[in-house]
Amino acid sequence: MVAARYQTAFRLYPYRRVADQGAAARRHPVVIVGGGPVGLTLALDLGQRGTPVLLLDDHEGPGQGSKAICFAKRTLDIAHRLGAGAAMVDKGVVWNVGRVFHAEGELFSFDLLPSEGHRHPAFINLQQPHFERFLHEAIERAQADGAPIEIRGGNRVTGLVTDDDGATLTVDTPDGPYEVAARYLIACDGARSPLRDMMGLGFAGRVFEDNFLIADVRMKAEFPTERWFWFAPPFKDSGQSALLHKQPDDIWRIDFQLGWDIDRDAELDEARIRARVDAMLSSQTGQVPDYDLVWTSIYTFQCRRMERFRHGPVLFAGDSAHQVSPFGARGANSGVQDADNLGWKLDLVRRGLADDGLLDGYATEREVAADENILNSSRATDFMTPKTGASRLFRDAVLDLAGKHPFARPLVNSGRLSVPCTYDGLPGFGPDATGGPALSRPGAACPDGPVEDGFLLDHLGGDFVLLALGGPAPKPVSAHGITPRILHLPRVSCALAHRYLGDAETALYLIRPDQHVVARWPDFDPGAVAAALSRALGKA
Amino acid sequence: MPLTLAPNLPDPDGFYDDLLRAHAGLSDAESAAFNARLILILANHIGDPETLRAALLAAR
């Protein structure tokens, strides 16, 4: 029996009995547990690379409810590489105008103009079940093209035994339990990760003493596609902060920060929620628009992470490994980056082109990224909810000044949007032999840019690439059986030169399959490229 | 030297974090005294009387 823990939004992978049930445990190269954004991204990436992957999920589709709604540019770039990005952007909402209010007054507004030569906006708002549905559609297309991806819905892991060589899972199904063996097991099973608990591993961090009330409302009339954020909202009983922004299908997401000491049942009373929502929606026009309440819940949050993301054959990715407050949309977005970081490494190890040690690099890099995300999301939380007299004094001073003086506005912090971590100084990166622009230094995710027939990232794809900007085409270089694809751009657009060349006329970049820069040089030196490629593969 | 009221901090969040960390564990009176010392140090660094008068006005 597999009891439902939540209602599913779409039934994407219904339970079906498979031949493995009732047979001896079959061993799979990679088993993923959890079909959320992280597990689906990783399954799609591995399958497209040709590595067989089995994904187990204890439901038959994405869960209903208030989950991630903001997907950042890097996530869209990754999804686009995997063939799922266009549907997301079509369905998603792009907003550019944000307004920040303090009590009765508007402090300032901003307009996020798109920057030239990027395929994707800074982010889109899209409900997580749609994000998962579009990934699943891409998986079905990949399967039709022969990608070895199998998803088993209604399969719940109830037992786990590991040794140096792999993991054996006990899996419960509507037809009873069976066993699955895996060389590598990837735990994408969320913040409450049952696999983490089965292994007795800790999840230390900081619990924020605060409650947020979420109300998703469907507007029946026109309402501006803007983000409104209040510090100390003036409307009745609305707490310390409030947020309004738009999702697809005429749904607006509203958050009220209620504080710690509340009566949850009373706060979820519909009349009480409607009173708050009425006050917010009418605050700028005096009119309450017609709306339906489609979802309400109260949540608290934590910032915490596992000490190590790898434990032998088991690797943790997404919320199972790290959890952040929602400010800055660093949860699902960082989880998708985990998957992007792990996919190519697992594929090379499975093919015997890299040693198992390459997977340690996954853990090292994503632990650093998790720390960065936790730092940013904790800072936003501390600004929104000052914990001491001094922090309240400065917070209020910043808000007082921000209305009059532009210098104080960058200090106003209601969340810093997820951007990819730059792996500065970590093993496997460098050298930086050009002194080029900081934003494309070794360790950074490649910035997009215009090329003659589209966008740079489309040409990078998911392989090792040797990118030559200006100058002559380099010759192929190999190390350990891998030959990076050569991408030669003799003519470099202005925007691309600004992002990759700086003052130089030419540059040569070695780029990883996850589109992070390994190393860069002013010109082509085959020995240096081979050495950098070896380091990127975890071979000294 | 005109008073700069446009954004000028290369890492606003990092500065803000440092500022609050400097106050960690201080009582309200100790925090107020810390702020007074900090203002005097920064004022000395600026030096220019016109700039300082403009800052006094901007903070009102």
pLDDT digit string, tens, across residues A486-496? 999 999 999 99
Higher pLDDT, A52 or A260: A52
pLDDT exceeds cutoff 90 at A222: no
d(CA B22, nearest CA chain A) in Å: 10
Lowest average pLDDT, out of A22-26, A79-83, A162-166, A405-409, goes to: A22-26
Is A228 within 8 Å of A245 (Cβ atoms)?
A: yes
Contact B20 A409 (CB under 8 A): no
Closest residue, chain B, to A382 (C-alpha): B17
Contact A383 B16 (CB under 8 A): yes
Chain A residues with CB under 8 Å of a chain B CB are: 376, 379, 382-383, 388-391, 393-394, 398, 401, 404-407, 409-411, 413, 416
Alpha-carbon span A425 to A319, nearest angstrom: 25
ipTM of the complex: 0.96
Both tokens of A363, joined, read 């853990």
Both tokens of A60, joined, read 């038959």
Tokens 């650093």 belong to A368
**Which CATH number fits the domain A438-536, given the four candidates 1.20.1530.20, 3.40.605.10, 3.40.30.120, 3.30.950.10?**
3.40.30.120
pLDDT of A129: 96
Contact B7 A416 (CB under 8 A): no
Both tokens of A523, joined, read 């010109």
Closest residue, chain B, to A376 (C-alpha): B13
Lowest average pLDDT, out of A259-263, A442-446, A471-475, goes to: A259-263
Q: Quick one: which of A446, A451, A369, A372 has its CA closest to A73?
A: A446
CATH architecture of A26-92+118-203+306-369: 3-Layer(bba) Sandwich (3.50)
Contact B31 A407 (CB under 8 A): no
pLDDT exceeds cutoff 80 at A65: no
pLDDT of A1: 65
Contact A379 B19 (CB under 8 A): no
pLDDT exceeds cutoff 90 at A116: no
d(CA B36, nearest CA chain A) in Å: 13
Angle separating helix axes B28-46 and B49-58, nearest 10 degrees: 140
Average pLDDT, chain A: 94
Q: Which amino acid is at A389?
A: G
- pLDDT-based confidence at residue A308 (cuts at 50, 70, 90): very high
**Residues of chain B neighbouring A406 (CB-CB closer than 8 A):** 5-7
Angle separating helix axes A37-49 and A332-350, nearest 10 degrees: 30
Q: Helix, strand, coil: what percent of chain A each, to 5?
A: 30, 30, 40
Nearest to A390 among B4, B8, B20 (CB): B20
Contact B31 A393 (CB under 8 A): yes
pLDDT of A407: 96
